[in-house]
Structure 1
Amino acid sequence: MKPRKIFHPLFLLALLVVAGGFSAKAQTSQFPTENAYWHQYSFLNVQGDTTEYFLQGDTLLFAEQWTKMYAKHPLQNAIYCGAVKVSGDTVEFTSTNDERKILYDFDLSVGDTFPIRPLSNTYGFDSVLVVERIDSILLFNGEYRKVFISNTLTNGIFEVLQEQWIEGIGSMHGPLFPLNARLLTEELGEESTLTCFLANGEVLYQNPRFWSCLLEIDDKTEQNLCTFPNPTSGKFILQIPSPEKIAQIELSDISGKQLVRFVESESIDISAFQAGMYIGVVTYKDGRKYSFKVIKK
Structure 2
Amino acid sequence: MTQLIQACKYFCNSRKRFKFLYLALIYNLAILNAQHLVEKENQWNVAIYPTFTPDFHSYAIKILDDTLVNGLVYHKVYYSYDSINTVWNYRYGFIREDTLKRVYYKRDHDNEVLLYDFNLNVNDTFKIDEFCTLQVVEIDSISLNDGQTRKRLKLVRKGEPGWGHEYWIDGIGSQFGLINHFGFCVTDYSDVLLCFYNNNKLLFPMAPASCFLTKNDEASNKPRIKLFPNPFHSYIKFENSNSQFRSFKLTTLTGKVMLNGRFEDAGSKINTEALIYGIYLFIVEAENGKQCVSRLIKY
Q: Give TM-score, length-normalised by structure 2.
A: 0.68
Instruction: Read off the aligned partner of 1:116 and give its amino acid letter.
Output: I
Q: How many pairs does the alignment contain? A: 274
Amino acid paired to 1:257: K
Inter-partner Cα distance in structure 2 for 1:218 and 1:171: 28
Residue in 2 that maps onto 1:129:
134
3-state SS of paired residue (1:114): strand
Q: Does 1:71 align with 2:75?
A: no
Match of 1:224 in 2: 224
Where does residue 214 of structure 2 map in the other structure?
Answer: 215
Cα offsets for 1:199-253 (capped at 9, x unmatched) = 121122359996242533488x85233322221121112444449954xx43322
2 CA distance for matches of 1:24 and 1:224?
52
Distance verdict in 2 for CA 1:112–1:66, change over 3 Å: same
Residue 271 of structure 1 pairs with residue 243 of structure 2: no
Which residue matches 1:294?
296
Report the RMSD for the aligned CA atoms in angstroms.
4.4
Corresponding residue to 2:99 among 80, 87, 91: 87
- Equivalent in the alignment of 1:250: 249
SS for the counterpart of 2:116 is strand
Name the counterpart of 2:129. 117
**Structure 1 CA distance, aligned partners of 2:43 and 2:210?**
17
Identity %: 23
Shift of 1:37: 0.9
The higher relative CO (CA closer than 8 Å, separation ≥ 6) is in 2
Tell me which residue corresponds to 1:39.
Answer: 45
Say whether residues 1:57 and 2:87 are aligned partners.
no
Unaligned segments of structure 2, at least 5 residues: 1-7
Q: Distance in 1 between matches of 2:295 and 2:76?
A: 35
Deviation by residue 1:28-79 (Cα, 9 ceiling, x = unmatched): 65424121112234467xx985332211133345655443333345567323
Q: Residue type matched to 1:198 in 2?
A: Y
Contact kept, 8 Å, 1:50 with 1:73, in 2: the verdict is yes
Kindly name which structure, 1 or 2, has the bigger radius of gyration based on alpha carbons.
Answer: 2
Task: Specify whether residues 256 and 95 from structure 1 end up closer, same or farther in structure 2 by C-alpha distance, changes over 3 A only.
Answer: same
Aligned to 2:24: 18
User: Which letter does structure 1 place at the counterpart of 2:116?
Assistant: Y
Alpha-carbon distance change, 243 to 42 in structure 1, aligned in 2, over 3 angstroms: closer
SS of 2:134's partner is: coil
Aligned to 1:175: 178
Take 1:261 and 1:153, find their aligned partners in 2: how far apart are those partners? 33
| SS, match of residue 89 in structure 2 | coil
Structure 2 CA distance for partners of 1:285 and 1:52, relative to 1, 3 Å: closer
Aligned to 2:118: 106
Distance in 1, matches of 2:207 and 2:227, equals 19
- Provide the C-alpha distance between the structure 2 equivalents of 1:193 and 1:23, rounded to a whole number of angstroms: 29
Q: Conserved in 2, the CA contact under 8 Å of 1:40 and 1:52?
A: yes
Measure, in 2, the Cα distance between the counterparts of 1:61 and 1:244.
Answer: 51
Higher-helix-fraction structure:
2
TM-score, length basis structure 1? 0.69
